[in-house]
């Protein structure tokens, strides 16, 4: 009984999930995918769309905070879409991922000595652009790292700040191309359910 209770508790606990979705490169796919979240009133924390290593196949990386039960229902719905080739769910520690952040700061704050420059370098950031009125810094890392630098730079007068969606690669050893070959030879969606509980 206690094991069943624990399983139910884990299913209902909210945590961060990363969704990796492979689709054909067709117009309207972004809307078709995001509307599934809208209908379920689920918030997307970050989204990134890019080409994959397979020509004509795009990879959507979506980050969301929800329960395991909810994310499984969303992925199941996404997999029903005819142009979706695969959809996978990952928890913390199951992927390698990064984000990129850009910070625009007044050039004048760098003219008062090398304190700011040392601070920037100590946080793994680099100067991307130098203009007469402003300087753009770039930092790659996890969200907590780019957020920490943002908070440190706030007192110096940030002009603009932007952070990208997550780019993520699974820790699985299987190639995407191999998965698509298996899918092509499959006549049902059973393949999705057999592969490590939805992990590629």
For the chain, the domains span 2-94+171-194, 97-167
Q: What is the pLDDT of residues 21-39, one digit of tens each?
A: 999 888 899 999 999 999 9
Among residues 17, 89, 90, 87, the alpha carbon closest in space to that of 57 is found at 87
Same fold flag, 2-94+171-194 and 97-167: yes
Give residues with Cβ within 8 angstroms of 60, minimum separation 6. Answer: 19, 20, 21, 22, 23, 30, 33, 47, 48, 49
Judge whether residue 19 has pLDDT over 90. Answer: yes
Q: What is the pLDDT of residues 120-169, one digit of tens each?
A: 889 999 999 999 999 999 999 999 999 999 999 999 999 999 999 899 98
What are the tokens at 81?
A: 């879409």
Q: Output the CATH code of domain 97-167.
A: 3.30.70.1150
Q: What is the pLDDT of residues 80-128, one digit of tens each?
A: 887 888 899 999 889 999 999 999 999 998 887 778 888 888 999 999 9
Given 3.40.190.10, 3.40.1130.10, 3.30.1130.10, 3.30.70.260, which CATH number is that of 2-94+171-194? 3.30.70.260
Give the mean model confidence (pLDDT) for residues 41-46: 92
What are the tokens at 75?
A: 């992925």
Residue 197 is predicted with a pLDDT of: 47
């Amino acid at each position: 009984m206690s094991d069943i209770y624990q399983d139910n508790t884990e299913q209902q606990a909210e945590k961060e999930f990363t969704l990796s979705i492979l689709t054909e490169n067709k117009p309207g796919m972004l809307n078709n995918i995001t509307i599934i979240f809208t209908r379920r009133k689920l918030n997307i924390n970050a989204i990134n769309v890019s080409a994959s290593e397979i020509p004509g196949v795009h990879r959507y990386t979506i980050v969301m905070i929800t329960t395991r039960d909810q994310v499984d229902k969303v992925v199941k719905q996404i997999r029903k879409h005819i142009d979706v080739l695969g959809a996978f769910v990952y928890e913390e520690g199951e992927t390698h991922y990064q984000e990129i952040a850009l910070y625009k700061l007044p050039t004048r704050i760098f003219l008062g000595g090398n304190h700011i420059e040392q601070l920037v370098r100590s946080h793994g950031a680099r100067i991307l652009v130098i203009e007469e009125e402003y300087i753009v810094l770039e930092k790659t890392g996890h969200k907590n790292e780019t957020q920490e630098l943002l908070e440190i730079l706030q007192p110096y007068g940030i002009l603009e700040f932007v952070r990208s969606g997550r780019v993520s690669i699974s820790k699985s050893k299987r190639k995407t191309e191999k998965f698509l070959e298996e899918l092509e030879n499959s006549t049902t969606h059973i393949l999705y359910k057999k592969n490590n509980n939805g992990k590629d």
